[in-house]
Structure 1
């Protein structure tokens, strides 16, 4: 049977690979595995048009673990990429790229912080709490690669901010992380929806400037956050 030059396979048990029809498969002799992580080398290898990509589904996401390809192809790609990365031109370009990304990230963090504060819209007497909360949420949600809703470009900034607030409150002001949620379809979503409604009710008290009880979970979370900021 002739081997396919390009194939998608899934990881199985004990290092086994599973083909597109659920059958166990083994890479051709002389092939080795290149873990995901170095996009430059991976592109060089896949450009040769002879590889197997190992990937799996996690929720709605498709995650790549790496590729199998002829050993000589991978080694040649690694050597070529390493040589290019040693050149002065590459080093200068790399520094410029990093500076550009840092500037872009800094601007986004500022925009996101403002969007969170705008969504919170706390009464003037709770502005310090709003600023502390917005800073904590921004630091948690905006890092590149964090996988949070703040990193998606599929929804408007305002919606990203509101969802990030509710997510942060779910973990900081409710018992969600310790809950034993039944493995029933839709159950976790229902719990999150109920907790979100509680969070919205709590936010309204701060927006109206109401007197907040000493044992308020949000007040406790903010006090803890302030201590953390003071130690940084």
Structure 2
């Protein structure tokens, strides 16, 4: 008679088949993500809700995925604060541990709410509602809006000047540079545009260069209609190639050269912009 392996022996289990099954249940094999079990679908790992973390949505209600792919059960007594109230969300995050749910769709990030203790959410919501009834709160909001509007207007001017500096067109092509800088700034600078112009991680000069090349990629090349193979690194390779073409096109305007205004793709893009909205006089 075949003996039961020592690692599978259990005083409450006598059948080797049942012993092996119990061993698998006690130590599940990893699935596609750490903490996931292919047989059961998921296996929650213990967690301590003593810190604020970013998590991903998970299909099972009351559960989320950590950035490492672990399935985490939402702690008892926690509730999900839906996105939409920025002031309340900031207070929830500042007041103590919370889990911010972010869904990634392509290169974009979408907030799906914040998990936090339900009592804390309700207490902060009630306190914020009381503050909002005070006239001084509205005055503070208005002052903040005016300050941000002034900062935005100042940044629009700064960014447009940085684009002009990057273009560096010859004086004879200065009107084209002015028109191009206006279009690029109008596209890239607005709050919520999601463009490189909104980041603060790189200097404004680098933002202006990146925004210009990106605008030209979409407006002066066939990038938007290209069929690019879904191969790792291929899209980046295509972008590098088109960026080089854009830089070569700009170089013609930086020198004292004649430009064929009817065949130049940059001129065609400027004409299309004029025909769509005539932004040159309104931005």
Confirm or deny a common fold (TM above 0.5). yes
Alignment counterpart, residue 49 of structure 1, candidates 96, 99, 102: 96
Gaps of 5+ in 1: none
What residue number does 1:131 align with?
A: 178
Partners of 2:179 and 2:270 within 8 A in 1: yes
Partners of 1:53 and 1:68 within 8 A in 2: yes
Structure 1: distance between partners of 2:205 and 2:95 = 43
| Higher percent of residues as helix | 1
Structure 2: distance between partners of 1:138 and 1:100 = 20
1:87 aligns with 2:134: yes
Listed as ranges, the matches of 1:1-232 within 5 Å are 4-6=48-50, 8=53, 9-13=55-59, 17-19=64-66, 22-28=69-75, 30-49=77-96, 51-56=98-103, 64-208=111-255, 209-230=257-278
- TM-score, normalised by the number of residues in structure 1: 0.85
1:93 positional shift: 1.3
Q: Higher RCO, 1 or 2 (CA under 8 Å, sep at least 6)? A: 1
1:204 positional shift: 1.6
* Count of aligned pairs: 232
Gaps of 5+ in 2: 1-44
Partners of 2:46 and 2:72 within 8 A in 1: no
Change (3 A) 1:174 1:69: same
Partners of 1:6 and 1:52 within 8 A in 2: no
Report the more deviating stretch, 7-16 or 99-108.
7-16
Cα RMSD for the two superposed structures? 2.9
Report the more deviating stretch, 218-227 or 74-83.
74-83
